[in-house]
């Protein structure tokens, strides 16, 4: 790694801030909202920006599947502790979560999809192949199924389907075959081992691309382990139902599968006269954010308002 590269990584870490946060604050009109639900609290970086902006008499509900992330966020938000509650849970259960808190409706509901930097950088969680870690990928560490189970137990066709459907990977068949061949000898246990197999299963020419071929395979497995697309479909519909009149919903997605669901759902509710779409085209990061925060390079923000 050259000195310039090393410096870029350091700077990225120092200047890391929540993706598209200015646009989120503005389009969700946070400064006028009283009950705000952050469905993907993560490390609480967006939530902290919300607190700096929302009215003094407002309240935030922070939801995340990941207990460790909630603990970290709790430390970050301590200053505002009488104005929030944090709940470990799946946002697809947002209706039950709010009902248990005796909150009938919200003024702003926010989703920042995918995994957090905390999850990605902690090799023990198994989300990244940058460092060796166990094949885990569970956002909720108490949940039943992990990536090891899928990689070592699904049939070749089932694996191929997951890679194709959730990773849009053109070499899904070769990769699934390679995995099944290898696990006949010994189970595949680590992230780096899986990434190595993927590299061997794709043609050399595809390795020249900017994105490592294992990226799509890891995305696919993560989506399958955490039932991400089902959760998004259910969570969005329930969230729309829970918005007050003039309440706003905002979603940041990071790949086309997620964005398609958000776009189609907003369109459907707009046709039914329930939502007014605030930005017809998704908001993406500008040059200055991209320079400071590489995490925002594939982010797309869509916002809609309850009629």
Q: Taking a C-beta distance cutoff of 8 angstroms, is the pair 48, 77 a contact?
A: yes
Name which of 257, 154, 171 is nearest 207 in CA terms: 171
Nearest-CB residue for ligand SAM: 42
Contact predicate 61/85, CB 8 Å: yes
Which range of residues in 1-9, 43-51, 124-132, 143-151 is near ligand SAM by CB under 6 A? 43-51
Kindly determine how many residues on this chain lie close enough to bind ligand SAM according to the rule CB under 6 A. 21
46 touches ligand SAM by CB under 6 A = yes
Give the list of residues 6+ apart from residue 275 with CB closer than 8 angstroms, or none: 240, 249, 266, 269, 304, 305, 306, 307
Residue of the chain from 28, 35, 42, 247 that contacts ligand SAM (CB under 6 A):
42
Shortest distance in whole angstroms from residue 218 CB to ligand SAM: 15
Q: What is the DSSP letter of 9?
A: H
- How far CA 118 is from CA of 71, 84, 121, 210, 295, in Å, comes to 12, 21, 5, 24, 13
Sole window of 57-65, 150-158, 195-203, 241-249 interacting with ligand SAM (rule: CB under 6 A):
57-65
CA 283 remoteness from chain centre: 17
In the bound complex, what is the minimum distance in angstroms from residue 165's beta carbon to ligand SAM?
18
66 binds ligand SAM (CB under 6 A): yes
**CB 112, min distance to ligand SAM, A:** 4
Residue 169 touches ligand SAM, criterion: CB under 6 A = no
Cβ-count burial 206-219 (b if 16+ within 10 Å, e if not): eeeeeeebbbbbbb
- Nearest partner of 37 among 115, 89, 114, judged by Cα: 89
Interface residue with ligand SAM among 23, 106, 114, 261 (CB under 6 A) is 114
Q: How far is CA 292 from CA 13, 23, 71, 112, 301, in A?
A: 9, 16, 26, 18, 18
Instruction: Tell whether residue 45 is a contact of ligand SAM (CB under 6 A).
Output: yes
d(CA 161, CA 301): 28
Q: Does 258 bind ligand SAM (CB under 6 A)?
A: no
Greatest Cα pair distance in the chain: 61
Q: Which of 20, 28, 35, 115 is in the footprint of ligand SAM by CB under 6 A?
A: 115
Is residue 259 a contact point for ligand SAM (CB under 6 A)?
no
Interacting residue with ligand SAM among 30, 36, 40, 238 (CB under 6 A): 40
CB of 115 to ligand SAM, least distance (A): 6
- The reply on whether position 65 binds ligand SAM by CB under 6 A is yes
Shortest reach from residue 243's CB to ligand SAM, in Å: 18
Residues that bind ligand SAM (CB under 6 A): 18, 40, 42-46, 63-66, 69, 90-92, 112, 114-116, 139, 231
């Amino acid at each position: 790694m050259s000195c310039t590269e090393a410096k870029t990584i350091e700077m990225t870490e120092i200047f890391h801030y929540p993706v598209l946060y200015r646009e989120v604050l503005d389009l969700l009109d946070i400064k006028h909202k009283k009950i705000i639900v952050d469905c993907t609290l993560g490390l609480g970086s967006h939530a902290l920006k919300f607190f700096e902006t929302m009215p003094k008499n407002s309240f935030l509900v922070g939801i995340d599947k990941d207990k460790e992330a909630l603990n970290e966020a709790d430390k970050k938000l301590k200053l505002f502790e009488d104005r929030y509650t944090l709940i470990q849970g799946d946002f697809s259960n947002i209706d039950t979560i709010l009902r248990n808190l005796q909150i009938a409706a919200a003024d702003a509901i926010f989703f920042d999809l995918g995994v957090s930097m905390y999850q990605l950088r902690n090799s023990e969680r198994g989300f990244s192949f940058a460092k060796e870690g166990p094949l885990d990928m569970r956002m909720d560490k108490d949940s039943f199924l992990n990536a090891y189970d899928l990689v070592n137990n699904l049939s070749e066709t089932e694996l191929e389907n997951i890679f194709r459907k959730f990773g849009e990977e053109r070499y899904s068949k070769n990769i699934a075959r390679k995995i099944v061949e290898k696990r006949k000898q010994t189970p595949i246990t680590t992230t780096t081992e899986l990434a190595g197999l993927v590299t061997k299963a794709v043609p050399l020419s595809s390795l020249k691309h900017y994105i490592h071929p294992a990226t799509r395979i890891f995305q696919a497995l993560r989506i399958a382990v955490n039932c991400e697309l089902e959760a998004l479909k259910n969570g969005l519909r329930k969230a729309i139902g829970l918005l007050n009149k003039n309440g706003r919903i905002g979603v940041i997605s990071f790949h086309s599968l997620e964005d398609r669901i958000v776009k189609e759902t907003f369109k459907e509710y707009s046709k039914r006269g329930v939502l007014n779409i605030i930005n017809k085209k998704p908001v993406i990061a500008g040059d200055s954010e991209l320079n400071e925060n590489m995490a925002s390079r594939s982010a797309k923000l869509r916002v809609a308002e309850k009629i």
